[in-house]
Amino acid sequence: MNLRTVCFAAMLAAAACSPAPETDTTAVPAVGDGAAAKRLPLPDCGEVEATELGAEGVKHPDCRLMLPDQSGLAIEARYSAAEDDSTEVKIQVVQPGDATIQEIVERMGATMGGPSVEDFDKDGKADIRVPLETYTANTTWALWRQMDSNRFVRVGEPTGVSLVKTESGYIAVQGRGSAADYYVEFHKLEGDALVPVATVNLAVQTEGEKVIGVDCTLADDGGLAALGKTPEELRVSFCAEPTVDGLIKDFTAKP
């Protein structure tokens, strides 16, 4: 939008005003390069709740979160309606002094959740998890991983109930297919992406209302060949992963 040039001859010999450039969200300045700005105070994201408006969708309150690491960074989430009935969330990454160093934009569908911060890969740096859609049991998230530069990189869109970093080095996504079917997807974090390895499927066996066992099977998502084991060795190994074995024990412990 063009701005009119305003000249005050009595005060200035010559002055020209030009429009400020639009923000380029693809070019992320290094920490310390952002310009500080006054901001209205926002409530903590952990202390606010979204409101279900029926046919009008979900109303998400703007909010702010401090990252629970040594970076000193915070995120500020602001929402607006998008033209396709989804919700656009703009997340500004700010440093002490309120300088914006990165802006993240996502589209959210039917979900009551809001952005959260956690160190999902256990590298000592907090990451950002943005819910995109919530289904009956599972949620699809956009995962933004914090790099050493404090820049966040989008690494994937897993769908499930929870994320677990395993002792064996995988990012495991636990999810639910139905009341009697569960899954655990195993991913390797390679560079800027979550790379699928395999999926464990759990089928709960019952007699009446009593659980009598759990079938554990393994599906290759493209990463099993590199492990150099037989199919049965791989099945036994992945079914014994704590994030899987814990689910099996929970099911079989039910009366």
In the chain the beta strands, taken as DSSP E runs, fall at 51-52, 58-59, 63-66, 74-81, 87-95, 99-108, 116-118, 127-134, 139-146, 152-156, 159-160, 162-165, 171-176, 181-190, 193-207, 210-220
Pairing of strands 181-190, 152-156: unpaired
Assigned fold of 33-157:
Lipocalin (2.40.128)
Average pLDDT over residues 225-246: 97
Q: Which amino acid is at 176?
A: R
Provide the b/e sequence for 93-108 (b: ≥16 CB within 10 Å).
bbbeeebbbbebebeb
Asked whether residue 248 carries a pLDDT value surpassing 80, the answer given is: yes
112-139 pLDDT, tens digit per residue, is: 999 999 999 999 999 999 999 999 899 9
Q: How far apart are CA 109 and CA 182, in angstroms?
A: 24
Asked whether residue 20 carries a pLDDT value surpassing 80, the answer given is: no
Contact 63, 42 (CB under 8 A): yes
Distances (CA, A) of 226 to 1, 199, 217, 223, 235: 55, 15, 19, 6, 15
pLDDT at 36: 44
Asked whether residue 247 carries a pLDDT value surpassing 60, the answer given is: yes
pLDDT at 51: 87
Whole-number average pLDDT of the chain: 84
29-39 pLDDT, tens digit per residue, is: 444 444 444 56
Tokens for 39, please give them: 């901001």
pLDDT band at 211 (very low <50, low <70, confident <90, very high): confident
The 3-state secondary structure of 36-67 reads CCCCCCCCEHHHCCCEECHHHCEECCCEEEEC
Share of the chain above pLDDT 70, in %: 83
Report yes or no on whether pTM surpasses 0.85. Answer: no
42-90 pLDDT, tens digit per residue, is: 999 989 888 887 766 788 999 999 999 999 999 999 999 887 778 999 9
Contact 6, 17 (CB under 8 A): yes
Where in the chain do CATH 2.40.128.460 domains reside?
A: 33-157
Q: How far apart are CA 194 and CA 175, in angstroms?
A: 16
